[in-house]
């Protein structure tokens, strides 16, 4: 079974790359724009620090590290999960989900696999460059810190996966919820700043309720030796988010099968 | 041996009445009236293995809803379905391995890449061994003469070529039953004939086909058994031969005359619509007359610049069935 699903995923990746390369200019532009827009954001941080202001107790490169992790994490989510919402919404509006449901494969898996989109690759590349620069100015990094970083980074990706699936699931009932990603993006951006600059209520919300702090702040803090118990407790809501996304989507699929397109 | 058994199948949808005027639209923003729609009502039928069955009906009759329930992609509100021993809506994941489907208005092909890449996707989905995949693909593309077509991007293909590729996509895993929802919609006569020939060949190899259409010609050329659905209810379920006997052999002839005539006084011809002094639509009964004879009589009676011969429209067929069986619509 696993072999079959890996085979399907590989085919989907091949198709996604073929599709992206069909429109070469569009592919290059997508990546260039993603790269450019992410260069601008650290520029704002550079301007803040250049003008003498700062985030209390955080150096420029520490803040850039948080933003680099956030950018890479967002890039991975864009490639792997973000297409699900738009694909689901399109199928619901056009009443064409049947062409997915007649395949002997999980509907959520197939929609996720078939919407892998490499136009987010520029984001990962930009984030990786920024990450390397910021990390080179950080203190020594131990293997334990790298392991902590990886666990927290993956948890951050789970948060975005969960959110994508939850938003996609809502489109079964709330057809045309195209503004929902914008609302989530606004909340997500809290994750690219040091959390101690926010009021405790807000940092509690971004750590445990919608754990967007895991997208940038917590993994970067681990590399800086600043990860505390809060970061590891926040893994639980991240996993719950991912599970909730999968379960809600499955529930909505059953509703679709019950009522049709 | 029966391969599909459907009993008392019912599907009720709930939707909102919005109205058509601007005032209704504004009103519906604040308060919407929930209404139920009986898409399929108490439908029962059986299909024999190896048969081609046509489900006929006008738009919105419930044909596609029935097909969706048969493919397991839609839960019925009540009733039972058994296909090859599976209950489609309950055993969907296992069941869909054994069926294929072509939806005339929904594509399984990926738009920007060649169909052959989509075929490889189905190879992975259905775990088709490489050797078997190649053999089936060669056979299917050969039947449709698609060898050169499948490597061009789907978006540059004609509707007919795309539809042929949809059939290949649906047949690659060698399904026992194939559901076709309006497979010839929008196609020209040559593409229709190719697709019909393909269906006949696959049927000869043992594949059972269920076909929904409102094109009577599809049914005439393919199906032995016909089910007619109207307003979600089954109004006819028998052989094509029986349907023809019920209806009589009737055709619709439309003529555009070069100069007016007093009238068409022929036994087998009934004028059903007169758009002007020069444009007539007639229903022709061919029970005791050949179409050649009718056209010869018309040619002697008047001079025309254009003539077209068509099948009876679906609405007319259903009306005739209601009338012949004494059912009130």
pLDDT band at A112 (very low <50, low <70, confident <90, very high): very high
State mean pLDDT over A178-204. Answer: 84
Asked whether residue A261 carries a pLDDT value surpassing 50, the answer given is no
Asked whether residue B245 carries a pLDDT value surpassing 50, the answer given is yes
Residue B11: what are its φ and ψ, rounded to 5°? -135, 120
State mean pLDDT over A105-134. Answer: 89
A103 at interface of B, judged by CB pairs closer than 8 A: yes
Question: Of A32 and B163, which is predicted with more confidence?
Answer: B163
Report the C-alpha gap between B178 and B122 in whole angstroms.
Answer: 15
Asked whether residue A109 carries a pLDDT value surpassing 50, the answer given is yes
* E strand intervals along chain B: 2-17, 33-48, 52-56, 78-83, 99-103, 177-181, 208-213, 225-230, 233-239, 250-257, 269-274, 279-285, 304-311
According to the model, what pLDDT value does residue B328 have?
43
Q: Hey, are the CB atoms on B112 and A8 less than 8 Å from each other?
A: no
A58-82 pLDDT per residue, tens: 889 999 999 999 999 999 998 998 8
According to the model, what pLDDT value does residue B314 have?
66
Instruction: Considering only the beta carbons, identify the residue of A18, A99, A258 that sits closest to B75.
Output: A258
Report the C-alpha gap between B239 and B225 in whole angstroms.
Answer: 4
Asked whether residue B55 carries a pLDDT value surpassing 60, the answer given is yes
Q: Hey, are the CB atoms on B113 and A97 less than 8 Å from each other?
A: no
B92 at interface of A, judged by CB pairs closer than 8 A: yes
According to the model, what pLDDT value does residue A260 have?
54
pLDDT band at B327 (very low <50, low <70, confident <90, very high): very low
Q: Hey, are the CB atoms on B71 and A102 less than 8 Å from each other?
A: yes
Give which of A1, A24, A98 to mutate to test B binding, by max B Cβ within 10 Å.
A98
A26 at interface of B, judged by CB pairs closer than 8 A: no
According to the model, what pLDDT value does residue B45 have?
95
pLDDT band at B300 (very low <50, low <70, confident <90, very high): confident
Rounded alpha-carbon distances, angstroms, from residue A43 to A36, A47, A256, B133? 11, 6, 46, 54
User: Looking at CA atoms only, how far is residue A245 from chain B in angstroms?
Assistant: 21
Q: Which long-range contacts (CB under 8 A, 24 or more apart) does B276-284 make?
A: B279/B254, B279/B255, B280/B254, B280/B255, B281/B252, B281/B253, B281/B254, B282/B252, B282/B253, B282/B254, B282/B255, B283/B250, B283/B251, B283/B252, B283/B312, B283/B316, B284/B250, B284/B251, B284/B252, B284/B253
According to the model, what pLDDT value does residue B329 have?
43
Report the C-alpha gap between A27 and A121 in whole angstroms.
Answer: 10
Which residues are paired to B4 by β-bridges?
B47, B83
On chain A, the residues whose CB falls within 8 A of the CB of B75 are: 257-258
Q: Hey, are the CB atoms on B75 and A7 less than 8 Å from each other?
A: no
Choose the weakest-confidence range: A30-44, A70-84, B302-316. Answer: A30-44
According to the model, what pLDDT value does residue B324 have?
64
A219-238 pLDDT per residue, tens: 999 999 888 888 899 999 99
Q: Hey, are the CB atoms on B112 and A23 less than 8 Å from each other?
A: yes
* B 8-47: CB under 8 A from A: 11, 13-14, 39
Rounded alpha-carbon distances, angstroms, from residue B40 to A173, B12, B76, B327? 23, 7, 9, 18
Q: Is this prediction's ipTM beyond 0.85?
A: no
pLDDT exceeding 90 applies to what percent of chain A?
Answer: 42
In chain B, the residue whose alpha carbon lies closest to the alpha carbon of A13 is B121
State mean pLDDT over A103-109. Answer: 93
B113 at interface of A, judged by CB pairs closer than 8 A: yes
Report the C-alpha gap between A171 and A143 in whole angstroms.
Answer: 43
Asked whether residue A257 carries a pLDDT value surpassing 70, the answer given is no
According to the model, what pLDDT value does residue B84 have?
95
On chain B, the residues whose CB falls within 8 A of the CB of A11 are: 120-121, 123-124
B179-226 pLDDT per residue, tens: 999 888 888 888 888 899 999 999 999 999 999 987 778 888 899 899
Instruction: Considering only the beta carbons, identify the residue of A7, A15, A97 that sits closest to B113.
Output: A15
According to the model, what pLDDT value does residue A56 have?
80
């Amino acid at each position: 079974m696993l072999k079959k699903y890996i085979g399907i995923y590989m085919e989907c990746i091949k198709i996604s790359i073929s599709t992206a390369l069909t429109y070469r200019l569009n592919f290059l532009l997508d990546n260039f724009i993603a790269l450019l827009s992410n260069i601008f954001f650290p520029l704002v941080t550079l301007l803040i620090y250049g003008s003498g202001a700062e985030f209390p107790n955080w150096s420029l490169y520490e803040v850039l590290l948080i933003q680099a992790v956030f950018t890479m994490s967002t890039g991975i989510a864009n490639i792997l999960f973000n297409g699900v919402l738009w694909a689901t919404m399109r199928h619901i509006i056009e009443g064409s989900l049947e062409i997915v449901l007649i395949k002997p494969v999980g509907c959520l898996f197939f929609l996720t696999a078939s919407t892998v989109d490499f136009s987010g690759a520029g984001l990962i590349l930009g984030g990786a460059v920024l990450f390397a620069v910021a990390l080179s100015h950080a203190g020594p990094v131990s293997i334990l810190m790298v392991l902590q970083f990886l666990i927290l980074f993956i948890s951050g990706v789970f948060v975005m996966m969960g959110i994508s699936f939850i938003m996609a699931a809502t489109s079964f009932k709330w057809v045309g919820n195209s503004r929902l990603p914008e609302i989530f993006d606004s909340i997500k951006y809290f994750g690219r700043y040091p959390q101690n600059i926010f009021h405790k209520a807000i940092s509690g919300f971004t750590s445990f309720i919608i754990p967007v702090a895991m997208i940038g702040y917590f993994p970067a803090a681990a590399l800086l030796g600043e990860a505390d118990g809060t970061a590891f407790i926040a893994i639980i809501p991240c996993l719950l988010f991912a599970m909730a996304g999968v379960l809600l989507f499955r529930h909505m699929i059953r509703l679709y099968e019950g009522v049709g397109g | 041996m029966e391969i599909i058994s459907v009993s008392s199948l019912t599907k009720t949808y709930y939707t909102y009445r919005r109205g058509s005027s601007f005032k209704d639209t504004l009103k519906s923003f604040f308060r919407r009236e929930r209404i139920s729609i009986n898409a399929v009502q108490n439908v029962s039928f059986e299909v024999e293995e190896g048969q081609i069955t046509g489900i006929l009906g006008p738009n919105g009759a419930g044909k596609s809803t029935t097909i969706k329930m048969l493919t397991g992609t839609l839960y019925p509100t009540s009733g039972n379905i058994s296909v090859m021993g599976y209950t489609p809506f309950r055993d969907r994941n296992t069941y869909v391995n054994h069926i294929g489907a072509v939806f005339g208005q929904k594509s399984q092909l990926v738009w920007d890449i060649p169909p052959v890449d989509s075929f490889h996707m189905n190879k992975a989905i259905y775990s088709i061994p490489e050797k078997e995949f190649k053999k089936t693909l060669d056979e299917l593309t050969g039947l449709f003469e698609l060898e050169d077509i499948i490597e061009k991007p789907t978006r540059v293909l004609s509707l007919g070529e795309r539809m042929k590729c949809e059939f290949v996509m649906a047949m690659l895993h060698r399904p026992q039953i194939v559901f076709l929802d309006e497979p010839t919609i929008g196609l020209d006569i040559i593409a229709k004939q190719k697709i019909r020939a393909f269906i006949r060949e696959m049927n000869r190899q043992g594949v059972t086909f269920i076909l929904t259409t409102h094109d009577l010609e599809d049914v005439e050329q393919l199906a032995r058994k016909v089910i007619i659905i109207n307003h979600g209810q089954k109004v006819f379920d028998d052989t094509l031969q029986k349907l023809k006997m019920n209806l009589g052999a009737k055709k619709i002839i439309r003529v555009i005359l070069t100069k007016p005539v007093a009238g068409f006084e022929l036994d087998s011809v009934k004028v059903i619509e007169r758009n002007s002094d020069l444009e007539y639509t007639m229903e022709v009964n061919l029970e005791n007359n050949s179409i050649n004879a009718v056209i010869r009589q018309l040619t002697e009676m008047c001079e025309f610049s254009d003539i077209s011969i068509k099948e009876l429209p679906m609405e007319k067929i259903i009306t005739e069935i209601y009338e012949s069986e004494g059912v009130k619509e």
